[in-house]
Amino acid sequence: MKQVAAISQGLTRGLEPCRGRPGVRDVRVKGAIGVVEMDKIADLDGLKRRFIDEGVFVRPFGRIVYLTPAFSIAEDELQRLTDTVVKVIAKIK
């Protein structure tokens, strides 16, 4: 439970900069699941490639960019993951 609580806090802190960005409908975290809900994602495959190009594997679907990290994820790895989501989301026009 401590691991999930730490992941939840990291996701909340790390994804919060997405809130209020153009095209972002909602940012939410439940336990070890983090979600950035977009108004729309026009090119899912292109967005997936952008994440991979940045060195992380995130598979968006529908209007959702979601993270379900392993409970064993290190704090710095989680921060890299959320930083990358924020960076990629910021580039969506």
pLDDT tens digits for range 9-49: 999 999 999 999 999 999 999 999 999 999 999 999 999 99
- The CATH number for 64's domain is 3.90.1150.10
Total domains in the chain come to 1
C-beta separation of 78 from 16 below 8 A: no
Kindly tell me if the per-residue pLDDT of 70 is higher than 80: yes
Residue in 60, 54, 57 with CA at minimum distance from that of residue 88: 54
Place 92 in a pLDDT band, splitting at 50, 70 and 90.
confident
C-beta separation of 92 from 25 below 8 A: no
Residue type, 50: R
**Residue span of the structural domain in which 43 resides:** 2-90
C-beta separation of 8 from 78 below 8 A: no
The CA distance from 76 to 15, in Å, is: 14
Q: What does the mean pLDDT of the chain come to?
A: 95
Q: What is the pTM of this model?
A: 0.93
Six token digits for residue 18: 């997405």
Q: How many helices (H) and strands (E) does the chain have?
A: 3, 3
